Every structure is written in C-alpha cells, then in structure tokens.
Amino acid sequence: MDIEICKLIPELAEDYVHFFDTTPHDDNVDEHKCYCVCWCNDDYEVKDLSTVEKRRKCALQYVQDGNIQGYLAYRDDVIVGWCNANTKSDCLKCASWRRFMDYVPLDALNIKVKSIFCFVIAPEMKRKGIATLLLERICRDAAEDGFDFVEAYPYREESYQSSDFGDHVEMYIKNGFKMYLNTEWRPVMRKKL
C-alpha cells in the first residue's frame, strides 16, 4: 500500500475540508463533523462554531492562516487519514484545551513541545498502519524543527469510544513514547527528541 504523508499547508485546505465532509465521525451526523477547529492555535471565545457550515468555513480559514496544523495521509490522491499536531504552547487558548486538558501540566518556557491532539482515519483504512505513519512523520519533522518532545494524550483501552480520536497507549509505546503522567482520566505520553 502506497501512502504519502503531507504536512497541512494552505494549498491543501480544500482537500482537508473535503476529507471531513466525507469521512464519518461516529454516526456521520453533521453535528459531529468537527473539522478539528477546536484544536488549533486560535482563541475560540470569539468564534461561533455552532453549526457544521460555520465549522467548515472556519476550518478553511484556519488552514489558510496556519491555525490548524497537522498532517494528511494520501492514498492514490485521496486523503485517508489526518493527525492534528500543533505547538502545545500555542494551543492553550483553544476551545478543547480549555475544556478537556486541565490535567496536563504546562511546560517551562524553554521547552518546545509538539502536541498530538487527534487522529481521524477513513473507516476502510483503519488498522492498516496509517496512524503510525502519521506519528512517525510528526516525530521526524518535530525533531528537525527543534522541538524537545512530542506529547500525546491517548485513551486507555477500557475507556475508548468511537468518538475518541486520541488513539491508544500501545501505539505510542511501540513508537518510543514513555508515560510522562498517568492521570485518572487519561495518560500524558512523551517522546524525547
């Protein structure tokens, strides 16, 4: 299987939103189509993200402006996977960070951390190593870009649901991540670069 991993750039904005338009999230109800707009480096308090149309429009602008960062997996020119990977310190004001991440410690100012917030894999491509390919590219690029760590917030197997997009502890362990903090809700895992 030939998979190409591409960094999300403004020229791929239409491809990106099309992937979310057509890739099922849970039961594929529009209200679940997130376009990953709540995991970005923009302050959410001034945004109305109440409908799928508003989230889609916002996502296009966010990709153009570099607010949503991550990687796309292509197979035969069709996106089959997405991973949101952004600078941790830039995302502290985003909607999902403020809502869900209070258990994650903040880092010293001199530490540069790339955070992995989300994986979405096309249903027909799950369990084929796409998430691992995305993770490997993120780690390689983060090292080249001078990051100290890559950090992830996976789900424990027993708490996993179809709406959870953090992937599993085992994938991170297989890729050199260590347990940084084991909280009651979710673990925080890190890979030193």
Name the residue ranges covered by the structural domains of the chain: 4-192
Please state, in angstroms and rounded to a whole number, the distance separating the CA atoms of residues 187 and 136.
20
Q: Which residue has the higher pLDDT, 141 or 24?
A: 141
pLDDT at 163: 47
Please state, in angstroms and rounded to a whole number, the distance separating the CA atoms of residues 66 and 52.
20
Name the band, by pLDDT with cuts 50, 70 and 90, for residue 114. Answer: very high
Q: Structure pTM?
A: 0.90
Span 20-25, mean pLDDT? 83
CA of residue 166 relative to chain centroid, distance: 8
Specify the CATH class of 4-192 in words.
alpha beta
